[in-house]
Amino acid sequence: MGNFVFTGVVMPKLSEYVELAATEYLQETGKDELDAHWIAAFFQDGGVLEDHPRQGLIEFADLVQKALTKQSERARKQAHYQLDKVIRGSRGPQQR
């Protein structure tokens, strides 16, 4: 589908705001538990309310928390994979 075009202005999809908020929060805080004050400020100042006036803050925060959890789990899996790769590599060839 894509973005809606309204009088020549492209309105970002809600999912784009969710991913942006999750990524910014993770980069700024390094935490995967969403802070209520932070998300309220993002919701108001980031344009979500303007572009999606029917979207509620609590529902938006829930969506962002889900995205944070998903990103955090993905990062943990990647870190585990990299550590496993380093550990296996440091042992040298497997002996049988």
Please name which of 85, 11, 75, 82 lies closest in space to residue 48, comparing C-alpha atoms: 11
Yes or no: say if 66 and 15 are a contact pair by the CB < 8 Å rule: no
φ/ψ of residue 22, rounded to 5: -60, -45
pLDDT tens per residue, range 28-56: 999 999 999 999 999 999 999 999 999 99
Instruction: Examine the pLDDT at 61 and tell me if it is beyond 70.
Output: yes
Which pair of structure tokens corresponds to residue 8? 């020549």
Reduce the DSSP state of residue 90 to 3 states and report it: helix
Q: Does residue 8 carry a pLDDT above 80?
A: no
- pLDDT, position 96: 47
